[in-house]
Amino acid sequence: MALDIARRVTSEPLLRPSDVHPSHPELEVVSVLNPAAARVGDEIVLLLRVAERPVRRDPPAGALTLDLSGAHPTLMPLGRGRGADDVVPITLIDGDATERLQVVYLPKDLPGLDLRDPRGITFTHPTTHRRTIFLTQFSHLRMARSRDGLSFEVDDIPAVYPHGQLEEYGCEDPRATCVGGEWHVTYVSVSRVGITTSLLTTRDFTRFTRRGVIFPPDQKDVALFPEKWRGGYMALTRPMPSSFDHVLGIWIACADPDLPFGRHEPLVMPRTGKWDERQTGASTTPFRTSCGWLEIYHGVDTDHRYTLGAVLLDGDDPTRVVARSPEPILMPELPFEMEGLFGNVVYSCGHVPLDDDGRRIRVYYGAADSCVAAADFDVSEIIATLERV
């Protein structure tokens, strides 16, 4: 059961897929979710993740598929005789050619194809047993702006579109932090190489400068702190190891003068029998309070339900956890949070302060991997519910 401190701003989503124009005539918008959030002047801006998929149709003449028999997928002709019910269309950037958008069609009867997860397709090679994952959706980042933080105008064209081989499957889940007067936006770059984290910088959320990859695969949920520590940047991240028991939790990366690539250590790990037993990951960017650094993070339980809670970090030493939520502060309860592309999910990538002293915040979140909603919190109420560790 969630702690009764969240105040949803409305009983309906703020943004739905129907509010966003497709980026390409061959695609349709299926999800708008997980926005970075910032207050810029007298506006609240959201940098949305917009997920698209190919419009359902029979494969056209000359349609392509992927040859998955080698070390890397390569394009090849699909051949004739297959209709819409016989294939799964996916979208990617053909980085080996002209970086053009490419729709390819995977035959459903291809041996080794696993279609059970609506978010992705897993192919297991029948002889080498090598696993390759493809996404059923292709994401980019799109700007939305609002005066009141409730009614948003969404740009007609992408703000950040996938670019190069490391983003051939798209860009996902941005998080925005203002460091030294400039906004730093981390986002997930997805490709056959793996899940990497890249960085953008901007001052106005109109023009973005690509800074490149800052964490190698497989890592995501990277949230930068708004202050430097020991002369360098700090970030929360979630390594995704393929070894041993796949313990997926929040780590902290920070500067260390004695280590050339900084310090990396576990911080907020899953807890047996709790709401965050299966997985933890950063959600909003951390922000300073009178009690320390507060981070709204997401946890996943054994039923794959995504909920939000909080962790308090020491104000002088953010590598030390002070207290954590015993129960979620926001969990899927409304119909649009429980049913969608991937149900029973509330997942945030950003918040904004609602007053000058930061006593109240508005958390924007993706619901059921399908739409965007928001909930308001009193920061002191969040802190009061935490249990010391």
| Per-residue pLDDT band at 245 (split at 50, 70, 90) | low
Taking all residues of the chain, what is their mean pLDDT, rounded to a whole number?
93
Summarize the confidence of residues 167-180 as an average pLDDT.
95
3-state secondary structure of 301: coil
Tokens 């943004």 -> residue: 15
**Sorting pLDDT into bands at 50, 70 and 90, what band is 95?**
low
| Ordered DSSP codes for 163-217 | -SGGGTTEEEEEEEEEETTEEEEEEEEEETTEEEEEEEEESSSSS-EEEEEEE-S
Q: What percentage of the chain carries pLDDT values higher than 70? A: 98
100-107: strand order across its sheet = 74-77, 64-67, 100-107, 87-94
The pLDDT score that the predictor gives to residue 193 is 84
Helix, strand or coil for residue 384? helix
What is the model's pLDDT at position 357? 87
Q: Does 305 score more than 70 pLDDT?
A: yes
pLDDT at 81: 87
Q: Chain-centre distance of CA 129, in angstroms?
A: 28
Q: What percent of the chain has pLDDT over 90?
A: 77
Residue 207 pLDDT > 70 = yes
pLDDT category at 74 given cuts 50, 70, 90 is: confident
Q: How high is the pLDDT of residue 246?
A: 75
- Taking 70 as the threshold, does the pLDDT of residue 140 lie above it? yes
pLDDT tens by residue, 340-376: 999 999 999 999 999 988 899 999 999 999 999 999 9
The Cα–Cα gap between 57 and 183 comes to 41
pLDDT digits (tens, 9 = 90+) for 367-385: 999 999 999 999 999 999 9
